[in-house]
Amino acid sequence: MLSMTDCLLTGAMMEPDAKPTIVLIHGAFADASGWSEVIQRLSALGYSACAPANPLRGVISDGDYVRTFLGTIQGPVVLVGHSYGGSVITNASAGAPNVRALVYIAAYAPDEGETLAAAGALDGASNDLPGHLLVRPYPGMPDGDGDAYINPEFFHEQFCADLPDTLAAVMAVSQRPVTLSCLGTPSGPAGWKTLPSWYMVASNDNAIPPVAERAMAARAGAHTVEISSSHVAFISHPQETTDLILAAVQGS
């Protein structure tokens, strides 16, 4: 597996017509290690893959962070996002000239000015994830904000129902929080309006309603596949995830 240093060095040496670098953005309640099996598959096929840490501090600021990261990579990029990471790639790709395609894995693909709460309610969708969040304070937080975690008692069912109990238990106690304010912050310009997009709908998702995923994919005009998976399709179905990324590489 490539280290982050190897990723940056490899990207810096790429010619514009070389294979694209695959940049993988994790979402809330997770970290970049979840991409490990996808990275191994891409690496075996000769692709440079990077999975930077998503700050999880705000839709706009996280998009700015990832866009700055993309500026360190020469040559084309295929940008992949899971869950909240989809909102980040939507924002990061606007104004990032080396991005050739977007890939959404059970992810938010908000429109400009739309909040994640609104995007997750498209076509009348609803879920009970907000009722299973634990909110903890962080230094300097604005009034009414806080770091949101999924209550570990509900983590397996809500987030990763098709993963083994032992793995889900570790993920539940090592999850990275997202600021509560992220859910209500309007998104910026949407990269999917100008870039070709691919979308994986997880039909058994208990974190983002599948009906909302289908609506976001259709609105973006994305090439869409649907699999029987929990929210963490990139972990439970790494080959299908890799195949969709490769379809974006070949189609962009």
Q: Are 202 and 236 in contact (CB under 8 A)?
A: no
> Looking at the 3D structure of the chain, how many domains does it have?
1
The residue type at 32: A
**What mean pLDDT comes out for the span 2-24?**
58
Share of the chain above pLDDT 70, in %: 93
The residue type at 14: M
- Within 10 angstroms of residue 169's Cβ, the number of other Cβ atoms is 14
pLDDT above 70 for 18: yes
pLDDT of residue 13: 37
| pLDDT, tens only, 58-82 | 999 999 999 999 999 999 999 999 9
Q: Are 19 and 66 in contact (CB under 8 A)?
A: no
User: Domain of 8: which CATH number?
Assistant: 3.40.50.1820
| pLDDT, tens only, 101-145 | 999 999 999 999 999 999 999 999 988 899 999 999 999 999 999
CA distance 240 to 246: 10
CA distance 172 to 107: 20
pLDDT above 80 for 217: yes
**What mean pLDDT comes out for the span 24-34?**
97
Q: pLDDT class for 17, splitting at 50, 70, 90? A: low
Q: Are 42 and 78 in contact (CB under 8 A)?
A: no
pLDDT of residue 7: 55
Q: pLDDT class for 28, splitting at 50, 70, 90? A: very high
Domain span at residue 148 reads 4-251
Give the HSE-up count for residue 80: Cα atoms under 13 Å, Cβ half-sphere: 29
CA distance 139 to 18: 44
Nearest in space to 66 (alpha carbons), one of 93, 47, 48: 93
Q: pLDDT class for 3, splitting at 50, 70, 90? A: very low
First to last CA, the chain: 25
